[in-house]
């Protein structure tokens, strides 16, 4: 296995990783970024981004990530396409293996591996992704203003998305597969007190319907009566949670029960010295491009200060 030593390793791309790269590169830290399996992250699957500052006309998600990449490369970031397949944070400096064949030994590591939205697993759901199917109402809800939409899920996220959409849409169906919601009482009350949200209890989706170009409806089944019905909608939002892409760090980093990395409040610091967590891998609350970019900046600044402190230790 080949090996090399670097000052800063950034694992993952997307808004957090690229922002960390921009700051680290401008600080002269010569960061190496390993992009991960989906270079650019979740935004590369988003057609239109209208809520990121600086793009008054909006921007195509993949193009936005190309802009981020170009800016990171302009300052000297070494961007490599590949996947970090394992890490060893048991000693210092830290070690990461890329594609099972190349070891990078890094003085500081910024984790920007993001999270992946969970989906129902329907072929029609994949077919209409970005054509009416979404996993983020805050990101995409505006495009469905004055349209009838559906939200799938029974937890706080689903309740929040349904309530958010209810302010934009004349009718929101909330599909809950049980006869009760898992959401907190306050969120349940908001849903049940919204006149334009209709909760369909004991209901699951069999198929997302459309004309090949856009969503036009959904076929649902009542899992108690086995009755099926078709409901006309133009937007279909899946809100059954996200899975942070953090499995390779489980042996070393503190994380919550769902896998989100824990950081020292107000910082990007993890429980391992010299390892910093940014973006959606450590954020289950906001999950926006702009907040991810902000934590990417934090990760780079925290890494820079950590390395400066290390140098001072060596010179004393």
Over the stretch 288-307, which tens digit does the pLDDT of each residue have?
999 999 999 999 999 999 99
Does the structure show a pLDDT above 80 at 316?
Answer: no
Residue 172 tokens, joined: 């929101």
Residue 21 and residue 10 in contact, taking contact as beta carbons nearer than 8 Å: yes
Pick the catalytic residue: 139, 280, 283, 302?
A: 139
Higher pLDDT, 238 or 49: 238
Residues 157 and 220 grouped into a single domain: yes
pLDDT for the residue numbered 11: 98
Pick the catalytic residue: 48, 88, 123, 140?
A: 140
Residues 23 and 98 grouped into a single domain: yes
**pLDDT range class, residue 314, cuts 50, 70, 90:** confident
Residues 251 and 155 grouped into a single domain: no
CATH code at 191? 3.50.50.60
Does a cis peptide bond (omega within 30 degrees of 0) precede residue 93? yes
**Can you give the residue range of the structural domain that contains 88?**
2-116+242-315
pLDDT for the residue numbered 315: 79
* Secondary structure class of 245 (helix, strand, coil): coil
User: Where is 133: in which H helix or E strand?
Assistant: strand 133-134
- Mean pLDDT for 175-201 is 95
Residues 102 and 136 grouped into a single domain: no
Residues 108 and 124 grouped into a single domain: no
pLDDT for the residue numbered 241: 87
- Mean pLDDT for 206-214 is 96
Residues 29 and 44 grouped into a single domain: yes
User: Distance between CA 305 and CA 125 in Å, rounded?
Assistant: 45
Residues 250 and 184 grouped into a single domain: no
| Per-residue pLDDT tens digits for 121-142 | 999 999 999 999 999 898 899 9
Does the structure show a pLDDT above 80 at 194?
Answer: yes
Residues 49 and 65 grouped into a single domain: yes
How many structural domains are present in the chain? 2
- Mean pLDDT for 35-46 is 85
Pick the catalytic residue: 136, 280, 283, 302?
A: 136
- Mean pLDDT for 260-287 is 96
Point out which residues pair with 95 in neighbouring strands: 88, 105
- Mean pLDDT for 193-199 is 97
Residues 10 and 99 grouped into a single domain: yes
pLDDT for the residue numbered 45: 73
The answer to whether the Cα torsion of 266, 272, 278, 282 is positive or negative is negative
pTM reported for the whole predicted model: 0.81
| Per-residue pLDDT tens digits for 72-91 | 999 999 999 999 999 999 99
Whether 297 is catalytic is: no
Residue 81 and residue 35 in contact, taking contact as beta carbons nearer than 8 Å: yes
Whether 169 is catalytic is: no
User: Distance between CA 241 and CA 249 in Å, rounded?
Assistant: 20
pLDDT for the residue numbered 150: 98
**pLDDT range class, residue 287, cuts 50, 70, 90:** confident
> What is the pLDDT of the chain when averaged over all its residues?
95
Residue 109 and residue 132 in contact, taking contact as beta carbons nearer than 8 Å: no
Residues 191 and 234 grouped into a single domain: yes
Residues 193 and 93 grouped into a single domain: no
Of 204, 238, 272, the residue that ends a domain is 238
Does the structure show a pLDDT above 80 at 264?
Answer: yes
pLDDT for the residue numbered 54: 94
Of 238, 266, 283, the residue that ends a domain is 238
Higher pLDDT, 48 or 66: 66
Residues 23 and 63 grouped into a single domain: yes
The answer to whether the Cα torsion of 137, 233, 154, 118 is positive or negative is negative
């Amino acid at each position: 296995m080949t090996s090399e030593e670097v000052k800063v390793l950034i694992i993952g791309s997307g808004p957090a990783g690229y922002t960390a790269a921009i700051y680290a590169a401008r600080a002269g830290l010569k960061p190496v970024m390993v992009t991960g399996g989906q270079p650019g992250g979740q935004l590369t699957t988003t057609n239109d981004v209208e809520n990121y500052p600086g793009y008054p006309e909006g921007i195509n998600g993949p193009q936005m990530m190309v802009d981020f990449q170009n800016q990171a490369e302009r300052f000297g970031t070494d961007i490599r396409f590949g996947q970090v397949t394992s890490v060893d944070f048991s000693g210092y400096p830290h070690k990461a293996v890329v594609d099972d064949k190349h070891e990078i030994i890094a003085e500081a590591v910024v984790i920007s591996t993001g999270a992946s939205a969970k989906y129902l697993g329907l072929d029609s759901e994949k077919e209409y992704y970005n054509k009416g199917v979404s996993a983020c109402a805050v990101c995409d809800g505006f495009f469905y203003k004055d349209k009838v939409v559906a939200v799938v899920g029974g937890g706080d996220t689903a309740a929040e998305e349904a309530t958010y959409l209810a302010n934009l849409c004349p009718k929101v169906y909330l599909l809950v597969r049980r006869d009760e919601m898992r959401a907190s009482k306050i969120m349940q009350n908001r849903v049940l007190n919204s006149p334009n949200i209709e909760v369909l209890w004991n209901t699951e989706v069999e198929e997302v319907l459309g004309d090949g170009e856009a969503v036009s409806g959904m076929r649902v089944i009542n899992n108690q009566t086995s009755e099926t019905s078709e409901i006309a909608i133009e937007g279909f939002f899946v809100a059954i949670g996200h899975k942070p892409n953090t499995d390779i760090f489980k042996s070393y980093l503190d994380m919550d029960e769902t896998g989100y990395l824990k950081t020292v409040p107000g910082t990007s610091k993890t429980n391992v010295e010299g390892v910093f967590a940014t973006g959606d891998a450590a954020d289950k609350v906001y999950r926006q491009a702009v907040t991810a970019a902000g934590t990417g900046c934090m990760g780079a600044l925290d890494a820079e200060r950590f390395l400066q402190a290390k140098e001072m230790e060596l010179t004393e």
